[in-house]
Amino acid sequence: MRRLKNWQIGRRLPAGIELALEGGSLMRLQVLDKTLFRISLVNRGLWRLDRTWAIAPQGDTPWEGRARDDLSGFPCPAHELDAEAERITLATKDLRLLVGRPLRLTWQALIGGTWKTFAEDRPTGAYLLGRTDHAAEHFLLRAPGERIYGLGEKAGPLERSGRRYEMRNLDALGYDAQTTDPLYKHIPFTLTRTETAGSYSLYYDTAATAWFDLGNERDNYHPPYRAFRTADGDLDYYMRWSPDIMTLVREQARMTGGTAFPPRWSLGYSGSTMAYTDAPDAESRLAGFLDELDRYDIPCDSFHLSSGYTAIGNKRYVFHWNRDRFPDPDQFTARFNTAGVRLIANIKPCLLNDHPRRAEAEEQHLFITDSETGEPESSVFWDDEGSHLDFTNPATVDWWKLHVRRELLDRGIAATWNDNNEFEVWNREARCAGFGRPLDISQIRPIQALLMTRASDAAQRAHAPDRRPYLVTRSGGTGIQRYAQTWTGDNHTDWETLRWNIRMGLGLSLSGFFNIGHDTGGFAGPQPGPELLLRWVQNGIFHPRFTIHSWNADNSATEPWTHPEVTPLVAAAVRLRYRLLPYLYTCLWRAAAAQEPILRPLFLDHEDDPASFADSDEFLLGPDLLVATVVEAGATRRRLRLPVNATGWVDFHTGVWHSPGSDIDMPVTLASVPLFVRAGSVLPLSIGARRATPEAETARELAIYPAPGDFAVESLCYDDRDTTGALEGDYCLTRLHLSGVGNELRLEISQSGRREPPHPTLRLHLATGDSRRLTSNGAPVAASAEVSWRT
């Protein structure tokens, strides 16, 4: 590799300037927004990959990718450029970039009238490029006291500094949630909070295998540094500054295309286990699941149909139905649909060598090909070998959509579960069609998963054009959140996984992936014991994706009723989730409409409280709920500290108010689900629902949690009918403004949107012992009353 040191002023660009570097390489410095700069290093003057599938500020990219030189969707504001022989300054009114010699960039933000440095390249060599390959490296200085977050789904603590991580999609069955790396996702995005100059995000737009060293590495010849290294692709990164981390999270999600908005039923409990579909009497086992739901009065909206329905022997064959286990697929799906439990079918992108449709796919040239022979590539997959479909080939996309419709959707399957899509094709030069411009798999591995999921999304939209689709994907990279919900893969069953998965989910949220969850109860390993299963369920109900899923070593199934001694408590936890569904759905809408994270570390809403940055098992669910479930075996007490806010916190169950920053030490039993409400909030709650739709409710309740003294807090409640026009006004958005003024509590209720409220009235419930007079839209009401929803 060669170190880049020297630069010459090159041509002016509409959004910045280009520098000429050694070896014919170019560096482009561009102003995309008032606090967003882009740095592009073009090796030998040519892009290695001249398009991206991640950058989508207008909502999506073309199937074939967005040209890297395309700046549409960015405001590219006016900027100042001062270019001298030894120094260049590129600035907006809020941010400036300094270029020095040898090649070194420094970023500064205008804070309180003073320019403060928030990030700077390593002075002893910041950029290296491969001479004969497409490898690249970038080095930044590490600043004392900085905190680093992001990188998506990574094991271990949420704060990442001092460690090394690899970005490479891998099927990490039974991983250790504290140490295993790499995992399923490829998300080269970090957030850094400085001690004195706000925070910045850094997104490297590459889909190639890459490494982040955030202070693990030390070198005598350099000051403390952090490194980004990529084996292939381009060094093309986006540097954004903000005084707060929340803005960085939201803007990253927006820049990469936003968040899919699935239907409300996707928030219901979803059953799943490999044990059912792998059993010889699979259809009978699945029917028994429906019976047990009724027996234990457990709400459920869907079931994840594991790949055993496609089996021949112990192998998996996508778009093939095992007729021994499922003699009549249409009749089978009809039974579930009649019961109100939708089926989500597992599909995989690799066809084994003896797949019934293998010859058909070969004839149509649908596979990624070997770089030397031109034949379909061959990879290890599901106890055999097979070839991966190439979703950069339009013919493959069409073939996939056709079979998703014929074999699944037309048979009554409601959604797709895009699984085993890590595309572990380790011949780095295996060829992909590239929509007419061939590419090596090493350049676009996570893009294959993205395009596979997008093809499934297109099939579902064509099949039900008036309804929003729901999809799940295990793997992928930045941009996959535009189409699907995801989860943290095949975790291992133990207490430590329960704790570390919380942090893994928060890492995804901080990286722009908001609709997430885990395999509740643990996927691989021993069956969870009664206490572990219960505590995992009590935690899982607060994640957007709530699925109990298992592939236990003893071939047993993990079910809500696995351990009779805790089944009533498991059922109570699931029913609590359904009670919270109106609030959860409002959080999901806020994620899609405003790019607000659903799961949040405490510091994301409370940066002014230094203690909120401490490692903990607590997290926020939206802006108004603090989840503090029990995650330790045999616990008899739960200790936590509530973050400092303006109004304090109220115990969801008891109505007791706690002052901001309170230290809590509460006794807990197996039945305990510690949960706190931001004081001043009004929570929309469901009454009587056994399905995740407003029609399934017997009523809607507003639980009122006032703060002491004078205060004012606004809460929201969002409802729609799962239509495609929901984000364009086909909804009912209820604003709930609660204030305390003297000896009065005032609740103001108003609506917007084209939809009528789902019920004519709302039940009010004052959840605390507050004795102040309560009014609703100016009229006095009782602490428990019913008021008109329409205003």
Domain boundaries defined on the chain: 273-486, 680-791
To the question of domain 273-486 being in CATH 3.30.450.40, the answer is no
Tokens of 642: 């509530």
Res 679: pLDDT: 98
How are strands ordered across the β-sheet holding 199-204?
A: 7-13, 16-21, 26-33, 36-42, 235-242, 199-204, 189-193, 147-150
The predicted pLDDT at position 131 comes to 85
Query: Per DSSP, which regions of 84-209 are E strands?
Result: 88-91, 95-100, 104-111, 114-120, 127-129, 136-141, 147-150, 164-167, 185-186, 189-193, 199-204
Give the per-residue pLDDT at 492: 98
Mean pLDDT of the chain: 97
pLDDT for 540: 98
Residues with pLDDT less than 50, the chain:
none
Query: What pLDDT is attached to residue 790?
Result: 83
What angle, 0 to 180 degrees and rounded to 10, lies between the N-to-C axes of helices 282-296 and 329-338? 10
| Predicted local confidence at residue 132, as pLDDT | 83
Could you check whether 273-486 and 680-791 share the same CATH topology?
no
Q: What is the reported pLDDT for 593?
A: 98
Token pair 């700046």 is found at 71
| pLDDT at 164 (0 to 100) | 98
Pairing of strands 164-167, 210-213: antiparallel
If we measure between CA atoms, which residue out of 711, 782, 775, 719 comes closest to residue 749?
775
pLDDT recorded at residue 133: 87
Strands (DSSP E) contained in 628-757 are 637-641, 649-651, 657-658, 663-667, 675-678, 681-687, 699-705, 711-720, 731-741, 744-752
Does residue 494 contact residue 631 with C-beta atoms inside 8 Å?
Answer: no
Extract the tokens encoding 326: 């499922």
Q: Pick left, alpha or beta for residue 722 (phi over 0 → left; psi -120 to 50 → alpha; otherwise beta).
A: left
Give the number of other CB atoms < 10 A from CB of residue 284.
11
Q: What pLDDT is recorded for position 791?
A: 74
Judge whether 660 and 642 are in contact, CB under 8 Å: yes
Phi, psi of 738 (to 5 degrees): -110, 130
Q: Yes or no: say if 347 and 400 are a contact pair by the CB < 8 Å rule.
A: no
741: three-class secondary structure by DSSP? strand
User: CA 245 to CA 151: how far, in whole Å?
Assistant: 15
Architecture of domain 680-791: Sandwich (2.60)
How far from 604 is each of 179, 184, 356, 506, 596, CA to CA, in Å? 25, 25, 51, 10, 11
d(CA 432, CA 454): 17
Is cis: bond before 62, omega within 30 of 0? no
Residue 373's contacts (CB-CB under 8 Å, 6 or more residues apart) are: none
